[in-house]
Chain A
Amino acid sequence: MSAAVARPIVVGPLAIRRHQVSGLVYLAIAALIAVAFGAGATPDAVSTFDLNTRSVEIKLPLVVLPSAATAYALAVACAFLGAIQLARGFGARRGLVLGLVALVTVSAFLVWAASDRSMNLVGVLGASLQRATPLTFAALSGVLCERSGVVNIAIEGMLLTGAFTAAVAGSVLGPWGGVLAAIVVGGLLGGLLAVLAIRYRIDQIIAGMVINIFATGITAFLSARVLTDVPSLNAPERFAPIALPVLSDIPVVGPILFENNVFVYALFGLVALLHVALFYTRWGLRVRAVGEHPRAADTVGIDVLGTRYRNVILGGMVAGLGGAFLILGSTGRFDRDMTAGRGFIGLAAMIFGAWTPIGSFLASLVFGFADSLQARLAILNVPIPSELLLMVPYLVTILVVAGLVGRARAPAADGRPYEKE
């Protein structure tokens, strides 16, 4: 969005500009950092960060920081940004500044959490990528559907069904068979959503809810009725992590990015492919035209309904792949309701990522980081309720949708059935 139009928001009798609101928020964050993490830290405590893993030969020294002093320094940095923001705004760079403030806040939190303890950052970041993977698949599924103008809230159900299929087919046909079957079943559910939404023009939210409820019911039913009796159908072989030669030996980056299983590498490829396809090919231009202005697209001869069918089915396939990851790349067995809302967090990541593949991936990483951090903090016995960190994705999404932090715009025809005249 261009920074040319700064809409005033009316707060009481005062008209405050949006950048000034952000500035006040940043100052409040700075104060919070100083009070909670600076003054709240034990005097003379140090925070230790470990950047090494067993698999990497080159060892880095431990990073040891004085907890309170570091927090105060970060608070000052945040206050500085806030003051400038309040005084004159950052114009086009406000997204960057928002990111910086978030980074400062997270760093201050980490320093506080690692106070008197040692935290392995590589472990946390590696786990973030793992936890972000299903979210990204879910978000990409959403991008494919919504860019063509079909709202997909059935991602949760597609993930769940994909996971179930991957467990059963993976046990019978081997892991690759499991992946393939999950993609096919995901595509079928995508097809169902497309038929309900496009052919029967059911409200798309309701169609999505139907698929979610159906998926929850049928997978729980079948796992109780079949998998408990025949446990051999729920024991697929998993994909082992593959360490890429040379790359995986780089300290810090290597173990995080280049010691993963095929799903994660496939994900990197898919994000890049979708980015290029959506924004630099004729196909992508057509898809976006259909999602923004179907009438115009139709006029120039683009097959609106066909594009929507294809995209929703593709989206279902991607979500099915995400479900397969949960089984074949992660847990190795199906349990009822195992997706636990990941489809909806993926939806949130798609919105936070402004309906773009790369944005969705980054947003998923942020949410994956929050998730992996809460798991790590629970192990480290940090006195902060894990529930608060688990709320982060949802709260961030609400702020984004409300336009309070950044602003994301949905494709204009998202959710509207198209009728040929």
Chain B
Amino acid sequence: MTDDGRTPGIDRPVEAGLESAPGTGLAMPPGEPGEARPRSLAGRLGGLLRSLVIPALAIFSGLVIGALVIVFSDVKIVGLWTSDPGAAFAVSVRDVANAYGALFAGSLGDPGKIVTAITSGDPDQMTKALRPISESLLSATPLIFTGLSVALGFRSGLFNIGAEGQLYVGALFAVIAGFSFAGLPAFVHIPLAIGLGFLGGALWGFVPGLLKARTGAHEVIVTIMLNYVAYRFVDLALKNPPVQREGATNPISKFVLDSAAVPFIIPGLRVTWWFVIALGAAVVISWLLFKSTKGFEFRAVGLNPPAARYAGMNIALTTVLTMVVAGGLAGLAGASVMLVPQGKLTPGFSPGYGFDAIAIALLGKSRPSGVVAAALLFGILRAGATPMQAATAIPIDLVVVVQALVIMFIAAPALVRGLYRLPAPKAAQAEVFTKGWGS
């Protein structure tokens, strides 16, 4: 790799500072200090591709190790490996191909079928062909919200492990708003319920933010603890009136009223307008972080707290605000699962959206656009897992293993570079989000 498409001279840092870099007109992309933005279109494309190398290899490696897990957990062919390794290998390859085939067919659909369905113009056929994609978008929706929540925290130097708890409280608030207020028109009821969902999550984010700002209590430990408090709190609410459904003995809430349900985009497919709201949230957060004064303060506090303080920024206020908005976003994730037709709250409704969010924020480099892309990827994995289990009897939990591996490889790029013999970057720097706790 001698020439990778960049114009000469870009490698050197621009001496006079960024303002003098002609043609950019933009500040340096945050997150990668020391890397000037390439000038030409080809250079930009090259830069984009280069930044995708590590994530792509991380995902690839995760899937490969996942395949090994599939192969070596097959008790039926354990004996075959010694008696007939060739046959065992063939069986393994077939199993893995079937599993991943079912996973991607279940989450992306069959491209051929989609094309024929669209050309035929038959609505029934079209819904059927598009169903896998709809399921993926459906799974991705809460992940976009929680991913934005964690990413926002990272940007201002806070590690929000509490997205899961904030999501549950947001869901509780949203579902209560959703089954109450009968008779309200949808255009009032929906925003009201969404607002309360945001409020619930924001409240659960406010506590660690305030404690961090006032007493220095580390947000990681407080948010972990608040996750469990939220689970118990929701359990408690679900076992008692007024939240518990009349006549139910198990913990389950009442159904959300139709006037509070965000409708389906296409009837027959389960993805709702929430997906579009999630994309809107990504745009808003992007604006907040990179175009607004408050966002500048968020990032400044995250990058260099002493400098931010010296510049007159209120670090305590920024900490609280960040956690409130981050919590609210996670609350919206909960609301996005509740405020749908026939929406209801159950104790285990989230398969760990708040924890996947950490992976998503890392994968997306804490950029809203990156978060959306990463959430789509995780949505695809999640949506494909169930059809995979149905078709090949390989447990859904494989996806969790793959996700853990992806986070590990993303968080340790040196591991990926070592595996694939990639050259080390110019300025390797360890990212440290947390600085001890308790004191």
Grouping DSSP codes into helix (H, G, I), strand (E, B) and loop, the B interface class, with mixed when no group exceeds half, is helix
The answer to whether B224 and A206 touch across the interface, beta carbons within 8 angstroms, is no
Of B352, B412, B436, the residue contacting A416 (CB under 8 A) is B436
In whole angstroms, what is the CA distance A347 to B224 when docked?
Answer: 10
The answer to whether B434 and A204 touch across the interface, beta carbons within 8 angstroms, is yes
The answer to whether B434 and A203 touch across the interface, beta carbons within 8 angstroms, is yes
The answer to whether A387 and B411 touch across the interface, beta carbons within 8 angstroms, is no
In whole angstroms, what is the CA distance A206 to B438 when docked?
Answer: 18
Can you name 6 A-B pairs with beta carbons within 8 Å?
A201-B432, A203-B433, A220-B397, A391-B232, A403-B215, A415-B436
Report chain B residues within 8 Å CB of A196.
408, 411-412
Say yes or no: is B367 at the interface (Cβ < 8 Å to chain A).
no
Give B79 Cβ to nearest chain A Cβ, in Å.
Answer: 13
Report chain A residues within 8 Å CB of B349.
none
In whole angstroms, what is the CA distance A229 to B393 when docked?
Answer: 12
Say yes or no: is B403 at the interface (Cβ < 8 Å to chain A).
yes
Find residues 403-434 in chain B having any chain A CB closer than 8 Å to their own CB: 403-405, 407-408, 411-412, 414-415, 430-434
Report chain B residues within 8 Å CB of A203.
411, 430-434
Report chain B residues within 8 Å CB of A230.
75
Extra A-B contacts (4), CB below 8 Å, given A391-B228, A403-B217: A213-B355, A351-B221, A394-B228, A402-B215
Say yes or no: is B398 at the interface (Cβ < 8 Å to chain A).
yes
In whole angstroms, what is the CA distance A211 to B408 when docked?
Answer: 9
| A217 nearest in chain B by CB position | B400
Give A5 Cβ to nearest chain B Cβ, in Å.
Answer: 14
The answer to whether A412 and B397 touch across the interface, beta carbons within 8 angstroms, is no
Report chain B residues within 8 Å CB of A224.
395, 397
Given A209-B407, A225-B395, A410-B438: A398 and B226 interface contact (C-beta under 8 Å): yes
In whole angstroms, what is the CA distance A210 to B228 when docked?
Answer: 19
Given A225-B395, A410-B438, A415-B434: A398 and B408 interface contact (C-beta under 8 Å): no
Find residues 186-231 in chain A having any chain B CB closer than 8 Å to their own CB: 196, 200-207, 209-211, 213-214, 216-218, 220-222, 224-226, 229-230
In whole angstroms, what is the CA distance A336 to B404 when docked?
Answer: 17
The answer to whether B434 and A387 touch across the interface, beta carbons within 8 angstroms, is no
Say yes or no: is B218 at the interface (Cβ < 8 Å to chain A).
yes
In whole angstroms, what is the CA distance A225 to B99 when docked?
Answer: 13
Give B350 Cβ to nearest chain A Cβ, in Å.
Answer: 14
Find residues 228-254 in chain B having any chain A CB closer than 8 Å to their own CB: 228-229, 232-233, 235-236, 239-240
Q: How many interface residues does A have (CB within 8 Å)? A: 57
Given A344-B224, A391-B229: A415 and B437 interface contact (C-beta under 8 Å): yes
Report chain B residues within 8 Å CB of A204.
434
In whole angstroms, what is the CA distance A390 to B236 when docked?
Answer: 11
Q: A-B pairs with the 4 shortest C-beta distances?
A: A217-B400, A410-B438, A214-B404, A224-B395
Grouping DSSP codes into helix (H, G, I), strand (E, B) and loop, the A interface class, with mixed when no group exceeds half, is helix
Say yes or no: is A348 at the interface (Cβ < 8 Å to chain B).
yes
Of A206, A214, A225, A410, the residue contacting B405 (CB under 8 A) is A214
Say yes or no: is A4 at the interface (Cβ < 8 Å to chain B).
no
| B221 nearest in chain A by CB position | A401
| A221 nearest in chain B by CB position | B397
Given A230-B75, A351-B221: A221 and B233 interface contact (C-beta under 8 Å): no
Which has the most chain A C-beta neighbours within 10 Å: B75, B400, B431? B400
Given A209-B407, A225-B73: A415 and B235 interface contact (C-beta under 8 Å): no
The answer to whether B217 and A395 touch across the interface, beta carbons within 8 angstroms, is no
Give A38 Cβ to nearest chain B Cβ, in Å.
Answer: 25
In whole angstroms, what is the CA distance A201 to B432 when docked?
Answer: 8
In whole angstroms, what is the CA distance A200 to B430 when docked?
Answer: 8
Report chain A residues within 8 Å CB of B240.
385
Say yes or no: is B161 at the interface (Cβ < 8 Å to chain A).
yes
Report chain B residues within 8 Å CB of A210.
404, 407-408, 411
Say yes or no: is A413 at the interface (Cβ < 8 Å to chain B).
yes
0 or 1 for each of A142-185: is its CB under 8 Å from B? (1 = yes):
00000000010100000000000000000000000000000000
The answer to whether A387 and B233 touch across the interface, beta carbons within 8 angstroms, is yes
Say yes or no: is B362 at the interface (Cβ < 8 Å to chain A).
yes
The answer to whether A409 and B439 touch across the interface, beta carbons within 8 angstroms, is yes
Report chain B residues within 8 Å CB of A356.
none
The answer to whether A401 and B395 touch across the interface, beta carbons within 8 angstroms, is no
The answer to whether B439 and A410 touch across the interface, beta carbons within 8 angstroms, is yes
In whole angstroms, what is the CA distance A205 to B401 when docked?
Answer: 18
Give A194 Cβ to nearest chain B Cβ, in Å.
Answer: 13
Report chain A residues within 8 Å CB of B239.
385, 387
Say yes or no: is B222 at the interface (Cβ < 8 Å to chain A).
yes
Say yes or no: is B225 at the interface (Cβ < 8 Å to chain A).
yes
Find residues 379-421 in chain A having any chain B CB closer than 8 Å to their own CB: 385, 387-388, 390-391, 394-395, 397-398, 401-404, 408-417
| A233 nearest in chain B by CB position | B75
Give B403 Cβ to nearest chain A Cβ, in Å.
Answer: 6
Say yes or no: is A341 at the interface (Cβ < 8 Å to chain B).
yes
| B219 nearest in chain A by CB position | A401
| B223 nearest in chain A by CB position | A398
The answer to whether A220 and B395 touch across the interface, beta carbons within 8 angstroms, is yes
The answer to whether B362 and A206 touch across the interface, beta carbons within 8 angstroms, is yes
In whole angstroms, what is the CA distance A414 to B224 when docked?
Answer: 18
Given A201-B430, A216-B400, A401-B217: A394 and B437 interface contact (C-beta under 8 Å): no
In whole angstroms, what is the CA distance A213 to B215 when docked?
Answer: 30
